[in-house]
Chains A and B, each alone.
Chain A
Amino acid sequence: MEDLYQEIILDHYRHPQGRGLREPFESQVHHVNPTCGDEIDLRLHLEERDGVLTVADVSYDGQGCSISQASASVLYENVNGLPLADALYALDRFSEMVTSKGEIAGDEDVLGDAVAFGGVAKYPARVKCALLPWLAWKDAVVQATESIEGGSA
């Protein structure tokens, strides 16, 4: 169980990074985990920086268990300021790690603190908690890029 509740996760739970909804944003999503009632509101702001589409801000608010809330905090730390393509790569690596049933250890160079969520993979019921903010973010990316494309068309 110490695999699941690693100190790094509890630390993010107690001291979430980047929490709170901020302006500006291109997309806002609300995701819930209907089996346990965890909720997250997430906003995404994308910006062109040196010709590269970049995650300029991910802001969020929500309520839920330590795993889902800490996961939102590490999501923020991971993707904020990253080129969108790199951030999507990190999402895929995170998703792969937590759904691997413990087969795939995360790459710390890509995931940073998020590798601590590798232990979640052994608890099938908690995988959806860890994924909640990341899937909300992915949804926000789809909506934001659609609105950007729609706006420039």
Chain B
Amino acid sequence: MSITASASGLDAQALRAQFPILDREVRGGGRLIYLDSAATTQKPLAVLDAERDYYLTSNAAVHRGAHQLAEEATEAFEGSRARIAAFVGARADDLVFTRNATESLNLMAYAFSNATAKSRMGEILPEATRRFVLEPGDEIVVTQMEHHANLIPWQEVCSKTGAVLRWIPLTTEGRLDLDSLPSVITPRTRVVAFTQQSNLLGTINPVSPIVDAARAVGALVILDACQSVPHMPIDVTSLGVDAIAWSGHKMLGPTGIGCLWATPETLDAMPPFITGGSMIETVTMEASTFAPPPKRFEAGVPMVAQAVGLAAACDFLAEVGMDRVAEHERQLTAHALDRLAHEPGVRIVGPTDMVMRGSAISFVMDGVHPHDVGQILDDRGIAVRVGHHCAWPGCRAMDVPATTRMSPYVYNDEADIDAFVEALSDVRRVFGVS
């Protein structure tokens, strides 16, 4: 492949050739400068080709059918599972495919509400599954910086089970207040679900102190890795958590596929989430038994083409090298923070230094609403995200109604960052602020 990088680092200019969308013009002639990769990334040709090739040559319903195409499709699907699992240091059998990370997190949340409902109906559950049964007053811990996808499912579990939601608050700098751990994580805590890297603030959270506090009280630990798996080398088995959720489309893969990794003991103990075909062992009119993981959690015809595409994305990133991806983003982020520090009226919402910091940078500008900032950047061909970034409580904690967020990835370079920063003076000009 012609992609990748020199020994010294990642060559974003060379990589860009693999992303034809980045050549298009926007808003009447400007070059597209895409800085919204925390929302979704662009897709390289290798991913598009892999999906197309699958449909051109092997398309069939997997895990059924006696014909050659069905065999090849199954091989493509399960082979993709193995490659995606290997990318994060996992065993293929411990990787469940979902529609997106939101569904992965819901799958975990529903394990609790479903086990609890069954238990309250008098069903005798296996000992391991009882870990998912909640009593009124049991506590679920999240953080104040969670994406709604790792907040609302737990609010719903609480409303269905009588469990109580608690959270680790933020400091004014947008980091977790770890001093609160002893009071927030208590013997009543049954689940701790938190993000490894904030999509709103860019903060990278320290995993081990939270895992240690959760382990000390026997709580299950779930990690939202949507903003970490695409941006740094991750070995899921070394983090010490029980389950990890992430999405395909934020790491150069297609939409429509998310991942859930969990330890085999965790997956084995969990009741199913979405039920139907493909996830069963035996079925009678009265009752059914369920397939072992991961199939227990993959009802219906799965997203085969998307799995093939995501595996191609993992191969692409592996060839670039996740160390290089992380280093490249570190350089771009340091450059952006440095330049933004000299911009009048700009306040970073989140850490302003490079300590435990990812590449998503949220900011507000004096006298201009974040939405208007984004609109004027868009007029210069610069794509950023505006709003609360599905982390509304985090915005409130940081005392901002919304932010403008720029988030670079492998195909961005310093010139993109410079264009973005220079366009901020246009924002000030249009709104007459200085």
Contacts and interface: CB of A to CB of B under 8 A. Distances in A.
Interface of A: 1, 4-5, 10, 14, 35-39, 63-67, 69, 123, 126, 129
B364 to A, nearest CB: 12
Contacts, number: 48
Contacts of B388: 36-37
B16 interface: no
Interface of B: 368-372, 375-376, 379, 386-388, 392, 395, 401-402, 430-432
Nearest to A2: B430
Nearest to B433: A14
B385 to A, nearest CB: 10
Between B372, B379, B392, B395, the greatest number of chain A beta carbons within 10 A of the residue's beta carbon is seen for: B372
A1 B402 contact: no
Contact of A36 (B368, B387, B431, B432): B387
Contacts of B372: 5, 65-67
Contact of B395 (A35, A37, A126): A37
Contact of A64 (B369, B431, B432): B369
Given A1-B375, A65-B369, A66-B369, A37 B431 contact: no
A37 B369 contact: no
A123 B371 CA distance: 12
20 contacts: A1-B375, A4-B375, A5-B430, A10-B432, A14-B432, A35-B387, A36-B387, A36-B402, A37-B387, A37-B392, A37-B401, A37-B402, A38-B371, A64-B371, A65-B372, A66-B368, A66-B369, A66-B371, A69-B369, A126-B375
B375 A123 contact: yes
A69 B432 CA distance: 17
Nearest to A35: B387
9 A-B pairs closest in CB distance: A65-B371, A65-B369, A1-B379, A36-B387, A37-B388, A37-B402, A66-B372, A65-B372, A37-B401
Nearest to B371: A65
Contacts of B392: 37
A129 B371 contact: yes
A63 B375 contact: no
Contacts of B369: 64-66, 69
A36 B375 contact: no
Contact of B401 (A1, A5, A64, A123): A64
Between A10, A36, A38, the greatest number of chain B beta carbons within 10 A of the residue's beta carbon is seen for: A36
A36 B376 contact: no
Between A1, A65, A66, the greatest number of chain B beta carbons within 10 A of the residue's beta carbon is seen for: A65
A69 B375 CA distance: 15
Contacts of B387: 35-37
Contacts of B376: 1, 5
Given A1-B379, A5-B430, 15 more contacts: A1-B375, A1-B376, A10-B430, A14-B432, A35-B387, A36-B386, A37-B387, A37-B392, A64-B369, A65-B371, A66-B371, A67-B372, A123-B375, A126-B371, A126-B375
A92 B387 CA distance: 28
A18 to B, nearest CB: 20
A35 B431 CA distance: 23
